[in-house]
């Protein structure tokens, strides 16, 4: 069932992203007087198609991993003389720039719409209280204490762990004192702590913003009860089900979820004897955690299961909600922040601050799509917005075959006063295909490594 949900979720996500992206190209092309021959969501043989009064074929194809808008163009096929004025290549360079740029812009607009909906509907977060502080860590050296609420980082206000993680991820490679403003437990006064860091999270796989500082978020006591079990993973194969309470591992009592996770992580590939309770009955079984290799060496165990959710104290819950007009500004601001974060992450990956093993391909996207869909509409819409921004940014990279590569050619044409030669574009196309193909293979490889 989990696999089917993942597949359906990723089809919905990619379908929406591709449709918006291609509609951006389509809408602007129509406004510029270009004849659109086909608007396809997906590649390969059409599963459904129809033709409108303008002669445009709208199709849904079998492979839902992209899409395209095919326009009348003399470079691809002969064009009747009476339709030359509708050919893409006959339009002015600024019209061609507008048509090509419209796809990524549509993705940014989709993200704004998604964030606007979230802000109007309201999102519920929890206060970012510090739980445990790891000895000899930057947080411990600065004197950060249990129960303190983090209110700002480097002068930027923080309201949730999500905002804190995004801020910290943006600081990968930072050297110096990280400024945290907190409100100590039982006090209304704020205090500033300076956390000394060097090469913060450089090449971590995956990045661990809070753990790198020695901070564990405060959480209510979570019992060792399985909330979800992923089909095909170790927990499911061993016979565990959602709702099972873990009583002991190898005869040692398990008191809470974190203790359970700690033992699992320390026993990759080692068979454990598990005592559990299911309803009024108790049972035992053998569980062998899978192996998850770390880039730094070694491996940790995992079983493909999550904890049952517990209720947070009402006084620690925070609702973030805006009116329809105010939400527009907030949505634009959040989209801008996420866009800059994505661009900065690409830059840091190119200079070696972020490990390329953090690349995600279709398998990881499918898993996260399914997880976010199961977590609720708020998580799903938030993931949709983030992925839409990522698609927009990636398409604007100056790589031939991507929208950004075409825009690069057109801006060169603006400067030179004449188009880039067909021969140069053909060479660029081959280079672009090689680069994109290499990135796709790398992402798929890292997907499979994470899966195994």
| Chain segment 116-136, per-residue pLDDT in tens | 999 999 888 888 999 989 999
> Which H or E element spans position 262?
helix 257-266
pLDDT computed for residue 2 by the predictor: 58
| Chain segment 338-350, per-residue pLDDT in tens | 999 999 989 988 8
Does the pLDDT at position 437 exceed 60?
A: yes
pLDDT computed for residue 184 by the predictor: 87
Superfamily of domain 130-217: PDZ domain (2.30.42.10)
Does the pLDDT at position 396 exceed 80?
A: yes
pLDDT computed for residue 32 by the predictor: 96
Measured CA to CA in angstroms, residue 284 lies from 251, 317, 399 at distances of: 11, 38, 56
Distance CA 362, CA 44 (A): 18
16-25, 221-230, 349-358, 366-375: the lowest-pLDDT one: 366-375
Confidence of residue 319 (pLDDT cuts 50, 70, 90): confident
Does the pLDDT at position 370 exceed 90?
A: no
Q: Which fold has domain 226-310?
A: Pdz3 Domain (2.30.42)
- Domain span(s) for CATH 2.30.42.10 in the chain: 130-217, 226-310
Distance CA 251, CA 217 (A): 29
Structure token pair of residue 439: 């990135």
Distance CA 30, CA 27 (A): 5
Contact 5, 373 (CB under 8 A): yes
Distance CA 357, CA 207 (A): 11
Distance CA 122, CA 318 (A): 10
Confidence of residue 449 (pLDDT cuts 50, 70, 90): confident
Q: Which residue has the tokens 């972020």?
A: 354
| Chain segment 176-194, per-residue pLDDT in tens | 999 999 998 877 888 999 9
Distance CA 10, CA 16 (A): 10
% of the chain beyond a pLDDT of 90: 52
Does the pLDDT at position 298 exceed 60?
A: yes
Distance of CA 55 to the CA centre of its chain: 37
3-state SS, residue 141: helix
Confidence of residue 225 (pLDDT cuts 50, 70, 90): very high
Q: At 59, phi and psi to the nearest 5?
A: -135, 150
pLDDT computed for residue 296 by the predictor: 58
Closest CA to 22 of 106, 117, 120, 124: 106
The mean pLDDT value of the chain amounts to 89
Contact 388, 110 (CB under 8 A): yes
Region 61-82: mean pLDDT is 88
Name, in order, each residue with C-beta under 8 angstroms of 26's C-beta and a sequence gap of 6 or more: 36, 39, 69
pLDDT computed for residue 111 by the predictor: 96
> Which H or E element spans position 277?
strand 272-278
Name, in order, each residue with C-beta under 8 angstroms of 257's C-beta and a sequence gap of 6 or more: 222, 223, 224, 225, 307
Closest CA to 275 of 245, 236, 242: 245
- 250 sits in the region (left: phi over 0; alpha: psi -120 to 50; else beta) called left
Confidence of residue 20 (pLDDT cuts 50, 70, 90): very high
Distance CA 74, CA 71 (A): 10
pTM, 2 dp: 0.79
Contact 362, 447 (CB under 8 A): yes
Q: Calculate the CA dihedral of residues 7, 371, 258, 166 and round it to 10 degrees.
A: 130
Measured CA to CA in angstroms, residue 25 lies from 69, 275, 420, 447 at distances of: 7, 58, 22, 31
Does the pLDDT at position 295 exceed 60?
A: no
Does the pLDDT at position 366 exceed 90?
A: no
pLDDT computed for residue 297 by the predictor: 63
3-state SS, residue 12: helix
Give the dihedral sign, CA 201/207/211/216.
Answer: positive
Confidence of residue 139 (pLDDT cuts 50, 70, 90): very high
Region 422-431: mean pLDDT is 90
Q: At 139, phi and psi to the nearest 5?
A: -65, -40
Structure token pair of residue 25: 């190209």
pLDDT computed for residue 311 by the predictor: 79
For the question of residue 299 being annotated catalytic, the response is no
3-state SS, residue 351: coil
Distance of CA 168 to the CA centre of its chain: 16
pLDDT computed for residue 245 by the predictor: 93
Q: Kindly write down the DSSP assignment for every residue of 173-195, as one continuous string.
A: T--EEEEEEEE-TT-SS-EEEEE
Distance CA 189, CA 191 (A): 7
Exposed e or buried b per residue across 232-248, where buried means at least 16 C-beta atoms within 10 angstroms of its C-beta? ebbbbebebeeebbbeb
DSSP bridge pairs for 192: 181
**411 CB-side CA count, 13 A:** 9
Region 410-417: mean pLDDT is 93
Tell me the CA end-to-end span of the chain in Å, nearest whole number. 20
Question: From the candidates 22, 149, 163, 181, which is the catalytic residue?
Answer: 22
């Amino acid at each position: 069932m989990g696999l089917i949900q993942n597949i359906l979720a990723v089809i919905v996500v990619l379908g929406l992203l591709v449709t918006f992206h291609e509609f951006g190209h389509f809408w602007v092309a129509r406004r510029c007087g270009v004849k659109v021959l086909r608007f396809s969501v997906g590649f390969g043989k059409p599963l459904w198609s129809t033709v409108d009064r303008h002669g445009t074929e709208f199709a849904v194809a079998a492979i839902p991993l992209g899409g395209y808008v095919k326009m009348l163009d003399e470079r691809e096929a002969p064009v009747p003389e009476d339709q030359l004025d509708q050919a893409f290549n006959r339009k002015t360079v600024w019209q061609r720039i507008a048509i090509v740029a419209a796809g990524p812009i549509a993705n940014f607009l989709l993200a704004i719409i998604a964030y606007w909906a979230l802000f109007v509907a309201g999102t519920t977060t929890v206060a970012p209280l510090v739980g445990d502080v790891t000895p000899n860590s930057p947080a411990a050296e600065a004197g950060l204490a249990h129960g303190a609420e983090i209110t700002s980082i480097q002068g930027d206000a923080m309201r949730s762990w999500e905002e804190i993680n995004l801020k910290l991820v943006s600081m990968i490679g930072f050297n110096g004192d990280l400024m945290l403003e907190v409100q100590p437990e039982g006090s209304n006064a704020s205090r500033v702590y300076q956390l000394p860091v060097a090469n913060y999270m450089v090449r971590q796989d995956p990045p661990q913003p809070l753990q790198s500082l020695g901070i564990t978020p405060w959480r209510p006591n979570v019992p060792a009860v399985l909330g979800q079990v992923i089909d095909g993973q170790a927990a499911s194969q061993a016979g565990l089900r959602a709702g099972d309470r873990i009583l002991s591992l190898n005869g040692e009592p398990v008191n809470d979820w974190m203790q359970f996770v700690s033992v699992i992580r320390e026993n990759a590939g080692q068979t454990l004897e598990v005592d559990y309770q299911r309803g009024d009955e108790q049972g035992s079984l053998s569980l062998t955690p899978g192996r998850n290799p770390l880039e730094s060496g070694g491996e940790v165990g995992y079983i493909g299961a999550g904890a049952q959710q517990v209720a947070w104290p009402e006084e620690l819950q925070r609702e973030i909600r805006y009116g329809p007009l105010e939400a527009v500004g907030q949505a634009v601001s959040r989209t801008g922040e996420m866009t800059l974060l994505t661009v900065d992450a690409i830059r840091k990956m190119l200079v070696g601050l972020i490990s390329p093993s953090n690349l995600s391909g279709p398998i990881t996207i499918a898993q996260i799509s399914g997880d976010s869909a199961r977590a609720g509409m708020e998580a799903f819409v938030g993931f949709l917005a983030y992925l839409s921004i990522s698609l927009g940014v990636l398409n604007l990279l100056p790589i031939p075959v991507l929208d950004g590569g075409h825009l690069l050619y057109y801006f060169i044409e603006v400067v030179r006063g004449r188009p880039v030669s067909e021969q140069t574009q053909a060479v660029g196309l081959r280079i672009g295909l090689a680069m994109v193909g290499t990135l796709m293979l790398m992402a798929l490889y890292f997907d499979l490594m994470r899966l195994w």
